[in-house]
Structure 1
Amino acid sequence: MPPDRRAASHQQTSGLAATFTLAAMSLGYGVVQLDVTIVNTALNAIGASLGGGVAELQWVVSAYTIAFAAFILTAGALGDRIGAKRIFMAGFAIFTAASVACAVAPDAATLIAARCVQGLAAAILVPNSLALLRHAYEDEKARGRAVGVWAAGASLALTAGPFVGGGLIALVGWRAIFL
């Protein structure tokens, strides 16, 4: 293949790879943001199903937020040392496992512990998704647009949480919000 066709093919492939990276990173950040608000709509149903008082229900929400805030800087540094891709993939696997644990939690204490693990995984996902975008988009303008799409998707997920949560609770039950 002539050098100019090879370069065009490489640009097309790397452009496609960057688009897939943006989609995956947006999905990762989107589920983190969705989980911030979707749980609030389920608190009444969770309380009725698992028992427990207001304190336990507050911890269902707070455990996620506290773990997220406590580990976000460490998770970013870990991605810098070990590799953002590897850490992001581990974070997504942990987030998925914690979500399943939330969905099958037999009691409030188990749900709170699983939400804490979800928060830890969320802390792993966010800084490493941004680092992977930085690697995928070398051009500053393109990177700025990609980060804008990434943030817009997360904002959409954040605002959709109560609507999606309400629909899932009405149709399937509160456990569906974690799946």
Structure 2
Amino acid sequence: MAVMTTSTGPRARITPSFVVATLALVAASGGAGYAAGQVTSAQIKDGTIQSRDVADRTLGGVDVRDGSLTGADLRNGSVARAKLDHRCDTGQAKLFGGCVPLRSWGPSSHQAAIDDCSRRGGRLPTTLEVRWIATHDEFTWADGNSGNYEFTADYTAEYPLTPIGIDQLGFTVQNSSGQLFWHHCVVD
């Protein structure tokens, strides 16, 4: 770069060669910086990338090997219920949005039946669902006696609201709160 002297003192004068040299320097350093930022999978040693090295929401299902994640690896609610594989265990049938055991439990009180289904991750079936179970031979009704009652999740429509029980023939008990009946659960 040439230096000119004026009455006010030395002043730098930008020459065309200075501009070209500066542009060449910027291009060279920028290109090297860009190239240094590009890392390929061939350059990464297996097992060296950790979760903190990956930006949030940048990986999808296609980036993860099938069967490599467990429930402990996922945040609650991070996978839509419809996308989960809901297979029923042996001795259960897939019904009513869940799995229903082929055998009923009991006898117990209505609250104990609710608590039992809750512990199993489920709920008592509705009156319509219990009627459906009652008409299918693959299900064992109560202890095998069609005259025994099973609890439903439904309550009477009038005050006082009381739980409903039903036998295999379709007869109902409108106030089964003080009874000891059998029950099925719909398990999620």
Query: Structure 1 length normalisation: TM-score?
Result: 0.21
State the structure with bigger RCO (CA 8 A, min sep 6), 1 or 2: 1
Give the strand-richer structure, 1 or 2: 2
Query: Structure 2 length normalisation: TM-score?
Result: 0.20
Give the helix-richer structure, 1 or 2: 1
